[in-house]
Chains A and B, each alone.
Chain A
Amino acid sequence: MERYWDIDPGRRITYRDDRDYTAHFLDLFQCAVGDRLRAPGGLPEF
């Protein structure tokens, strides 16, 4: 068995403005929810 993914412990994201962190989160959160709404026969568009 081979590990194919792990967290990169050294990865850091730095923005000048704190609002950029929440915007980044919202983008990913939208993907996380949207991907999980998908079902055979109907794909949400957003």
Chain B
Amino acid sequence: MSGGLDSTSVAAMARRCAPRGGSPDLFSSSFVFPNLRQCDERAYIEATAEALDLGSELVDAERHWVLGDAQAYQPRLEAPLLAWESAFREVLRRTRSRNARILLTGHGGDDLMAGSFSAYADRLLQGDLRVLFETFPHAASRGRSGWRTLYRYFGQPLIPEVMYRTVRRLRGKPPRPRIPEWIRPEFIHRSGLAEHLHSVPARPARNAAWYELYDEVVRLRGWERAVHWYTSNASPFGIEVRHPFLDRRLVELMLAIPSRLRSHPGCYKPFLRRATDGLLPRKPGCNSLMQACEENH
């Protein structure tokens, strides 16, 4: 359980499902960073664990750098991502020592709940002019110009690629390469990356936010690699890692609701924030969760 919204929502809902003193016994596991203060969310983690009456395992992630033991942490073809295996295995060791067999994560929450810039243009195309009254005051509060806001929120998502390139040329900017320059040419050739990108159909201008979410969660399934990573690390400990945000019913719901609910200027994950208001403990120092999101994003 980090100090973020996804894992905290899972923890709070787990507490609602499993009342205190009942079965199963719940506890949270979190990383803390005593020296990397900007990464450390201990204050909120501890406040949340106390409010939810959860036992708490705090793992000092700085004592478990993945590069600290190159032999123990080798990249694998099935899960080439090397990130925080070492710290995660410490979580698994402690989980096992408590005789727990299930670990819930907030994984998938970013994919499902983050929303999209395209939602604003979608709303404008649907004739919802309220979106203008939401985006411009927010941009003004951040000191952004009206034209820049108009272009970022509505122009960029809507204008065709050809016109986009023309505008860049007129502004004296070179065309943006379709493949980043840091990818080596021989890899592009060997992997057929250029041909693959060429074969990907362009998203329709209408309902672009829906297609973005569909691509992210259903078609491309980037979360699968992470799920495999969790599973392969946890299996040796006899622990099953489960991810509530990847529930099919939630995916179907988020694709069926109006996209305006998933995106709001200046607020990250506004729908989840509203839905869990009253379920989550307040963030220390903030009057409300909405205030916290306005400050952070």
Question: Interface residues, chain A, CB within 8 Å of chain B?
Answer: 5-9, 11-14, 18, 21-22, 24-26, 28-37, 39, 42, 44-46
**Which residues of the partner chain A approach B242 to less than 8 Å between Cβ atoms?**
36
Q: Indicate which residue in B24, B210, B218, B275 contacts A29 across the interface (CB closer than 8 Å).
A: B275
Question: Which chain A residues border B276 with CB–CB below 8 Å?
Answer: 26
Most buried by B among A7, A8, A39: A7
Asked if B17 is an interface residue, CB under 8 A from chain A, the answer is: yes
Closest to B254 in A: A25
**Is the pair B275, A26 in contact by a Cβ cutoff of 8 Å?**
yes
Q: Is B253 interfacial (CB-CB < 8 Å)?
A: yes
Given known contacts A7-B251, A36-B104, A29 and B22 CB-to-CB distance under 8 angstroms: no
> Which residue on chain A has the smallest CB distance to residue B12?
A33
* B: interface residue count bin: 35 or more
Q: A9-B210, A26-B275, A32-B250 are known contacts; what are 10 more A-B pairs with Cβ within 8 Å?
A: A7-B251, A22-B274, A24-B253, A25-B272, A29-B13, A32-B247, A36-B244, A45-B22, A46-B17, A46-B19
Q: Which of B12-30 contact A (CB under 8 A)?
A: 13-14, 16-19, 22-24
Question: Measured between alpha carbons, how far is A12 from B55 in the docked complex, in Å?
Answer: 40
- CB pair B23 A44 closer than 8 Å: yes
What are 7 inter-chain pairs, A to B, with CB distance below 8 A? A11-B252, A18-B274, A22-B275, A26-B279, A33-B244, A37-B17, A37-B102
Which single member of A5, A29, A34 contacts B250 (CB below 8 Å)? A29
Of all chain A residues, which has the CB nearest B214?
A7
User: Is A25 a contact partner of B275 (Cβ separation < 8 A)?
Assistant: yes
Most B CB within 10 A of own CB, among A7, A36, A37, A42: A36
